[in-house]
């Protein structure tokens, strides 16, 4: 049992780990998806901004102005012009981003870079400018996403500025935090769900360990108490035999009655101890001495004996006349059926109806009473070891809570099952189904 609990703990741990890994995988994929959605939304807003700024016109005007400066004022002035960027456009872009909810939410940085421009003065001097920021809202760091790659090549009419290429791009500096804020509800729910699963696993394992301890305690208690009881009972039996021998020929009604009372109570105590030992055995522990039993005669004989012990009960037998025989342990099967009959009388059954039906593969014995019935909450536990139906922590009838448990174990050991139909104030019907 300890090994099974250890395997269960390992299995639960692996299941929790797998569940956490699956949740992490889905959360990560959700994050990536939202990140792509954010990039798409930002890209669309920046394309709209480029349209408003009319970036193509800016490029053309810039190209023409630079070409004019190179022609009229020389390469030094043109170099300074192309290297200084466009502060006015940068301020315009920054203002647009700050006022746009999507771009501002993700702390978007936009930048246009001059990839390459070749300057050649009329005197033959050349200068190449590469990877120079042109205008934008700030410096790009980390992952840079390209919006446009633009190229202008002007070799017409003696153009001195050639191969003017630029690239517009952006980066989302605050995208991670914004996405995590959007996913906060999902993250909290996932953590809570995982916590609930861990808690349920913990409670289940703790309950199982507690039940095992209780079961071990019950088994140890039964073994110890029966052993301790048998020793003084054996001594008491020897003492009673000695007293009986001494009393032979010496009539004493009071003493004889006392000795008879002690003898009866001793026998009753022995019977109770034997009942506890046999009734607490599980179906695997029961040693069945199977024999071929002709059921109609067997049931009729059993009911005749029961009538003698319970003459106040109206016993009605509706037995199938078909000849049917099963292989079963006569002693255990008798005790199992008598336990159910005794329970019917104990719990107010003034009338008990026993019906038998011989099927092709099974033999069914239905025991119906008109007693107080069994509540729905008790029906799920009525076959548990030591369980007894009670009202307000008070047991109305005497017993050990082993009769129905033992009966179910016996029928299960025979390969059959017990069905229960009952309701408060409606009596109970126990149907024993035995394989043929």
User: 288 vs 136, which has greater pLDDT?
Assistant: 136
Confidence (pLDDT) at 394: 39
Confidence (pLDDT) at 211: 79
Q: Which residues 6+ apart lie within 8 Å of 240 measured at CB?
A: 259, 262, 263, 266
Confidence (pLDDT) at 393: 42
Q: Which of 193, 85, 86, 88 lies closest to 129 in space, CA to CA?
A: 85
Confidence (pLDDT) at 375: 84
Measured in degrees and rounded to the nearest 5, phi and psi for residue 158 equal 75, 30
Q: Is the pLDDT of residue 426 over 80?
A: yes
Q: What tokens appear for 429 in the block?
A: 């019907």
* C-alpha to C-alpha distance for 386 and 403, rounded to whole angstroms: 9
* C-alpha to C-alpha distance for 257 and 434, rounded to whole angstroms: 46
Q: How confident is the model at residue 234 (pLDDT cuts 50, 70, 90)?
A: confident
pLDDT tens-digit series, residues 341-400? 888 888 777 889 999 999 888 999 999 998 888 888 788 788 887 777 665 443 455 556
| CB-count burial class (<10 Å; 0-12, 13-18, 19+) for 134 | buried
pLDDT tens-digit series, residues 92-122? 899 999 999 999 888 899 998 888 878 777 7
Q: Is the pLDDT of residue 278 over 50?
A: yes
Q: Which of 24-38, 77-91, 145-159, 195-209 has the lowest mean pLDDT?
A: 145-159
Q: How confident is the model at residue 154 (pLDDT cuts 50, 70, 90)?
A: low
Contact at 8 Å (CB) between 119 and 73?
no
Q: Which of 28-37, 112-121, 193-202, 232-241 has the lowest mean pLDDT?
A: 232-241
pLDDT tens-digit series, residues 204-216? 888 888 877 877 7
* C-alpha to C-alpha distance for 239 and 243, rounded to whole angstroms: 6
């Amino acid at each position: 049992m300890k090994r099974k609990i250890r395997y269960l703990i390992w299995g639960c741990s692996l299941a929790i780990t797998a569940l956490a890994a699956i949740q992490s995988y889905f959360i990560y994929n959700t994050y990536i998806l939202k990140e792509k959605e954010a990039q798409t939304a930002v890209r669309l807003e920046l394309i709209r901004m480029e349209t408003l700024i009319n970036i193509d016109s800016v490029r053309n005007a810039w190209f023409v102005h630079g070409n004019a400066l190179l022609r009229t004022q020389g390469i030094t002035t043109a170099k300074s012009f192309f290297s200084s960027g466009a502060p006015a456009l940068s301020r315009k872009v920054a203002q647009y981003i700050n006022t746009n909810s999507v771009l501002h939410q993700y702390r978007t940085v936009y930048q246009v870079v001059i990839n390459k421009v070749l300057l050649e003065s009329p005197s033959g001097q050349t200068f190449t400018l590469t990877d120079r920021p042109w205008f934008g809202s700030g410096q790009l760091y980390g992952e840079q996403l390209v919006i446009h790659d633009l190229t202008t090549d002007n070799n017409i009419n003696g153009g001195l500025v050639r191969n003017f290429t630029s690239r517009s791009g952006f980066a989302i500096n605050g995208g991670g935090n914004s996405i995590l804020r959007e996913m906060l509800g999902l993250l909290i729910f996932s953590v809570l769900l995982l916590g609930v699963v861990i808690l349920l696993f913990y409670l289940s394992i703790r309950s199982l360990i507690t039940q095992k301890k209780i079961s071990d305690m019950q088994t140890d208690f039964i073994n110890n108490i029966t052993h301790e009881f048998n020793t003084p009972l054996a001594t008491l039996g020897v003492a009673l035999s000695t007293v009986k021998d001494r009393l032979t020929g010496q009539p004493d009604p009071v003493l004889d009655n006392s000795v008879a009372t002690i003898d009866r109570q001793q026998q009753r105590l022995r019977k109770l101890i034997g009942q506890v030992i046999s009734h607490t055995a599980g179906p695997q522990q029961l040693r069945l001495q199977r024999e071929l039993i002709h059921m109609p005669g067997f049931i009729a004989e059993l009911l005749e004996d029961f009538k003698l012990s319970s003459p106040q009960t109206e016993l009605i037998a509706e037995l199938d006349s078909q000849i049917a025989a099963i292989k079963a342990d006569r002693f255990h099967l008798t005790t199992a059926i008598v336990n159910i009959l005794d329970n019917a009388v104990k719990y107010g059954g003034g009338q008990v109806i026993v019906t038998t039906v011989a099927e092709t593969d099974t033999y069914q014995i239905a025991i119906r009473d008109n007693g107080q019935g069994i509540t729905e909450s008790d029906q799920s536990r009525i076959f548990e070891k030591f369980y007894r139906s009670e009202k307000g922590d008070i047991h109305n009838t005497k017993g050990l809570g082993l009769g129905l448990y033992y009966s179910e174990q016996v029928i299960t050991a025979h390969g059959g099952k017990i069905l229960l139909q009952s309701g408060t104030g409606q009596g109970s019907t126990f149907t024993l189904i035995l394989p043929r």
